[in-house]
Amino acid sequence: MSEPILQMNNIEKHFGNVIALAGVSFDIRPGECHCLLGDNGAGKSTFIKTMSGVHKPTSGEILFEGKPMSFDSPRDAMEAGIATVFQDLAMIPLMSVTRNFFMGREPTKGHGLFKRFDVQHANEVTMSEMKKMGINLREPDQAVGTLSGGERQTVAIARAVYFGAKVLILDEPTSALGVRQTSNVLATIAKVREQGIGVVFISHNVRHAMSVGDRFTVLNRGKTHGTAKKGEITSEELQDLMAGGQELAELEGSLGGTI
């Protein structure tokens, strides 16, 4: 397999005396979908936030394309080609869909003092990207606050897909989606992966994870139980691992080879 785009070694993150991450290692390669599974409070969101420049790890090493990297802000990570759909979506209800879509990376036209936000181009892109995801917007200057939860989630995903040049991180992107939109998102993940982008997919739903995942990592109470390749592990085993079930010891064997 190819070299990892992003490699996280022994990441720890403490919030005061709360240890959210106690040494997590993870990597993502081009053209694969790496699923991160775990119960609520396991530290999944905290972990991906160290990848996307929101949190600085307390300790541990991040290698981006083989070189040590320290993202100072989400903007840094974005500029490196990492796009994230955060669990809270990072959308602003009072702003239009277009303004949200391009927030922080507005296309411009003109030069110097007259360099301005190319609203028309932005509107066109937003409409067409949303259409690709199966949502027909009434108008691109509709406020995000008027959208349903699922539509909002779709805007956030469409935005990340559009800007995710190398790595696309999705933190529970399907939680508010209906059946059709969910299969749409899963199909999008498959499509993005084919373009050679690495996808980090966080989910609660083992079925969703199994349908698109190439590798699976389970996080439990800030620790990882290791990574399994597709075919090496069954849905039931993943489910048990997520729950931190009794079969843990038994499962260690099946994971052993890939830890």
Partner 1 sequence: MTEEAETAMDERIKKDPLYRRLMKRPELGAIAGMILVTVFFLATADPAMFTLSGFMNFMTPAAQLGILAIGAAMLMIGGEFDLSIGSMVAFAGLIFAALLVNFGMPLVVAIPATLIIAAAVGAVNGQIVLRTGLPSFIVTLAFLFVLRGLSLVGLKWATGGSTQLRGIRDAVENDFLTPVFSGDAFPALFAWLANIGVVETFKNGAPKVPGIPVEILWFVLLAAAATYILLKTPVGNWIFAVGGDTNAASNSGVPVRNVKIALFMFTACCAALLAIIQVLDAGSTDARRGFQKEFEAIIAAVIGGCLLTGGYGSAIGAFFGSIIFGMVVIGLTYTNIDQDWFQVFLGTMLLLAVMFNNVIRKRVTGER
Q: Indicate the residue among 91 and 218 with the shorter CB distance to ligand ADP.
A: 218
46 binds, among partner 1, Mg ion, ligand ADP, none (CB under 5 to 8 A by kind): ligand ADP
Measured distance CA(170)–CA(105) in Å, rounded:
19
Distance of alpha carbon 210 from its chain centroid, rounded?
16
Q: DSSP assignment of 43-86, as one string?
A: SHHHHHHHHTTSS--SEEEEEETTEE---SSHHHHHHTTEEEE-
Joined tokens for residue 208: 């969703």
Within residues 12-71, the interface with Mg ion by CB under 5 A covers 45
Helix (H) or strand (E) holding 132, with range, is: helix 119-132
Tell me, by CB under 5 A, how many residues bind Mg ion. 2
Q: Indicate the residue among 96 and 217 with the shorter CB distance to ligand ADP.
A: 217
Give residue for tokens 């997919």.
Answer: 201
54 binds, among ligand ADP, partner 1, Mg ion, none (CB under 5 to 8 A by kind): partner 1
Contact 118, 55 (CB under 8 A): no
179 binds, among partner 1, Mg ion, ligand ADP, none (CB under 5 to 8 A by kind): none
For Mg ion, the binding residue among 9, 25, 87, 258 (CB under 5 A) is 87
Q: Indicate the residue among 30 and 60 with the shorter CB distance to ligand ADP.
A: 60
Q: Indicate the residue among 12 and 106 with the shorter CB distance to ligand ADP.
A: 12
Helix (H) or strand (E) holding 201, with range, is: strand 198-203
Q: What is the closest distance, in whole angstroms, from the C-beta atom of residue 44 to Mg ion in the complex?
A: 5
- Counting contacts by CB under 5 A, is residue 153 touching Mg ion? no
Residues in touch with Mg ion (CB under 5 A): 45, 87
